[in-house]
Structure 1
Amino acid sequence: MGKKTLYIECNSGIDERMLIASLLNLGISEDLLKPVIDSTGLEGLEIEVGKTSLNGSISHFFEISRESECEINNVNYRKMKANEIYDIINKTDISDYAKRISINAVNSILKAVTETCYSNIEGFDNDSIILDKDILTIIVAAFCVDQLSVDDVIISEIHEGIGTRTNKGNIVSIPSPQIARILINSQLSVKFVDVAEELLSLIGTSIISTLTQKQRTPRSCRILSQGIGSEKDESTKQMRAMVIEEDEPQVNNETWILETNIDDSTGESLAFTMEKLLESGARDVFFTPIFMKKNRPAFKLSVTCHGDSVKKMESVIFKNTTTIGIKKYRIEKTVLEYSIINVDTRFGSVRVKASSHEDMKYYSPEFEDIKAICNITGKGFKEISEVVEQAIYECFKFKN
């Protein structure tokens, strides 16, 4: 029996409203949302959940609006500060897992804005760009994912349109710089399709990037349920979510090392080769300074990979370096079992690699998570590392 997985299709882009509608359609009762929304303390917002037509078929929609909005389109939603947002999420009646999703989605937005917006423009505040309705949307999405009680989340290929759009009189490329930055930071891949429209939303992309970094199409599975979400008005766009049960894949755990000595390639080509090897699935890549015959300075390139990746690694090396020969041999390796655990800190969730050997336990925070917090808060790496180490200690109470 395979594990229970949430599979989200992003072939029509990513929209937070369609995402939530598809998740609710998987069997989550609308009645469960009211106590969650009430516990946020956000006033003046109301939700609407219902059915609509999608090319003649029934679809579901989800909307958040101001109470007594009537037919006014330009509603003044309230911009919120980061600390205020964290307080709202932490007091909301949802699980710790849902809170982590919410905080990490908010952090991804703040990080993207910090990296793409010039903060010295008069009247512009990088820390106040998230609206109250966006916070509620993120919380509801996190709550829905938590309610599904799945073992894993995967997404399909992400599709985005091409061209430009107009924002407050300015012409902006698609995707917007903030959305592109979230895709860069999450390392999610995107396929540009011949549609003159922006298919990705900032809030929706932040939620998806927080849920998973796994992009693939299930090969062998049973579909347990499906939910389809679209816009309220009849539309050709949709997002579909499915709960599936995947068959356990057969994994080739055989490990190989490939080595070659290089004395006539540029530093740029070697750096590029390393990037391509890692992108192609190498487990580890490193260079060792050596001296070859006639005392020529050189580098030994070493690559560790699975057995079924050897041919791919050889192709990358021959294509991008001057070498004409590669040594390879199979190795045995002792690997400690480990798991990735999310540890809550006052700056948000941090992934921690937890492993053990005999009576010893080891905990190592992910560098990229600490780096992201530093970029968002402006604090130093040492200070954030100390906060994270203390949070790990409080969480695990470990003694080595």
Structure 2
Amino acid sequence: MTYTAYFDCSTGISGDMILGACVDAGAPFSAIKAEIKRLKLHDCELSLRRVIKKGISASKVDVYIHEHHHHGHAHSHSKYTEIDRFIKNSSLRNSLKDKTREIFLEIAKAESRVHGESIKKIHFHELGSPDTIVDVVGALVCFDELKIEKIFASPLNIGGNVLIKTAHGLLSNPAPATAELLRGIPVYIADLPYEMVTPTGAAILKVMREKDKKLITGSINIEKIGYGAGDRDLADRSNVLRVLIGEVEAFVDKEEVVVMESNIDDSSPLVYDTLMEKLFKAGALDVALIPVQMKKKRPAVKLEIVCEKKIADKIAKIVFEETSTFGVRFYPVARIKLEKEIEKMSTPYGKIRVKTGRLDGRIMSVSPEYEDCKKLSYKLNVPVKTILASARREK
């Protein structure tokens, strides 16, 4: 079981909305304030209040620094190197310190790509205000307090085609740095005349979200729910970020794969040996030949191939070259895959490679390498099933 948070970003995401949602789900506000106090930011004050957004009761966390409201322009640490040094020399716990620096480094990389400058020369402008540091540190404290091990998010609603006021003038939504931070994160554009995803919210997700796996539909056992309020009062929906927290038993591997199929009734059976060799050499993950009966009651073979989407065209080309088929159909699929490791182990008959499959650290499957067992069987004149059984017992 893995304790997991799922953020519903249907009305966007920001640093203070993450704070509000997590506090609403049970993260102690006092713990956030205590850790922020270690930053020794002058005149920094956090407040918590309940608000109603289109009938939804939510927590609103505000950060006040030098009497400027959250998302104001108190530029105490506007240069990336200054912010990084400030965090590095702070009294934060090392785990918080490292993640905070990692998040600000992602922001700096995004700004660097946009402006074509070295990271060391980057100024954060709006993102250089101390309240951005408070948002990031506060979110990380919440994740620790709620014992969250993995974080997932829905596709992000980034808002509509509007202009955003920045230190560089009016910029299209999403702002260039935000767009850079959103690389690799699913987003969509909605008919809302606002910026719905802030750079801080995007940066926190960029670093903290799970990148290698995704949730299986219906797999989270919800224990806690929280709503964090945003600053907008939208006409037709509540401006809240919802977080669902609970235990998850299994995840789907995020590797994108497709299944390719073709029914073949007029190719010589002799071609399939070469075909399978070429398909595996080209990167196919699996190839199967399944006997089927065609519409005119002819016996035929259904060729079924599993491969990564990016090589689908190359795989189809091999099928057309090596068989008589006129078409190949394909469709995307999700697959659950155990974490696999291969190690050599000693048995009474010699060393054998063994594949071990784990799910969240637990051993689910053990499989001795058949070719190793086969070689030992011939060498020692011992039945292969005996060697296979011995390898499983040793494991």
Shared topology, TM-score over 0.5?
Answer: yes
Percent same amino acid among aligned pairs? 17
Shift of 1:105: 0.9
Shift of 1:210: 0.8
CA distance in 2, matches of 1:142, 1:13: 19
CA distance in 2, matches of 1:240, 1:32: 21
Matches within 5 A, 1:1-400: 2-69=1-68, 75-119=73-117, 126-129=122-125, 130-168=128-166, 170-184=169-183, 187-214=184-211, 216=215, 218-231=217-230, 236-248=238-250, 279-280=256-257, 302-305=282-285, 311=305, 313=307, 319=313, 322-323=317-318, 324=320, 335-336=341-342
Amino acid of the structure 2 residue aligned with 1:90: K
Amino acid of the structure 2 residue aligned with 1:302: A
Shift of 1:43: 1.0
Give ranges in structure 1 of 5+ residues lacking alignment: 253-277, 283-297, 328-332, 338-356, 359-400
Amino acid of the structure 1 residue aligned with 2:136: I
Amino acid of the structure 1 residue aligned with 2:248: E
- Cα 1:18–1:161 change in 2 (3 A) is same
Matched residue SS, 2:194: coil
The structure with more radius of gyration:
2
Q: Which string of whole-angstrom CA distances, capped at 9 and with x for unpartnered residues, describes residues 343-392 of structure 1?
A: xxxxxxxxxxxxxx99xxxxxxxxxxxxxxxxxxxxxxxxxxxxxxxxxx
Shift of 1:198: 1.9
Shift of 1:317: 5.1
Q: Partner of 2:372 in structure 1?
A: none
Shift of 1:75: 4.8
Q: Partner of 1:261 in structure 2?
A: none
Shift of 1:145: 1.0
Matched residue SS, 1:62: strand
CA distance in 2, matches of 1:61, 1:107: 27
Matched residue SS, 2:6: strand
Amino acid of the structure 2 residue aligned with 1:147: E
Shift of 1:161: 2.1
Q: Which string of whole-angstrom CA distances, capped at 9 and with x for unpartnered residues, describes residues 152-195 of structure 1?
A: 221122222231314258442221111111122xx222122333
**TM superposition score normalised by structure 1:** 0.61
Shift of 1:59: 0.8
Matched residue SS, 1:303: coil
**TM superposition score normalised by structure 2:** 0.62
Matched residue SS, 2:285: strand
Matched residue SS, 1:198: coil
CA distance in 1, matches of 2:42, 2:322: 66
Matched residue SS, 2:196: coil
Shift of 1:318: 5.7
Shift of 1:113: 0.2
- Cα 1:133–1:182 change in 2 (3 A) is same
**Comparing 229-238 and 170-179, the one that deviates more:** 229-238
CA distance in 2, matches of 1:318, 1:75: 50
Contact 1:36 1:92 in 2 (8 A): no
Give ranges in structure 2 of 5+ residues lacking alignment: 260-277, 289-303, 324-338, 344-352, 355-395
Amino acid of the structure 2 residue aligned with 1:313: C
Q: Give the number of equivalent residue pairs.
A: 286
Contact 1:218 1:246 in 2 (8 A): no
Q: Which string of whole-angstrom CA distances, capped at 9 and with x for unpartnered residues, describes residues 55-93 of structure 1?
A: 123111011122445x99965432433333233323444
CA distance in 1, matches of 2:216, 2:195: 23
Matched residue SS, 2:283: strand
Matched residue SS, 2:174: coil
Shift of 1:114: 0.2
CA distance in 2, matches of 1:112, 1:73: 19
Shift of 1:224: 0.8
CA distance in 2, matches of 1:72, 1:99: 22
Contact 1:52 1:233 in 2 (8 A): no
Contact 1:77 1:133 in 2 (8 A): no
Amino acid of the structure 2 residue aligned with 1:6: A
Q: Which string of whole-angstrom CA distances, capped at 9 and with x for unpartnered residues, describes residues 210-257 of structure 1?
A: 1114455642221111110013675521101121112335x79xxxxx
- Cα 1:201–1:75 change in 2 (3 A) is closer
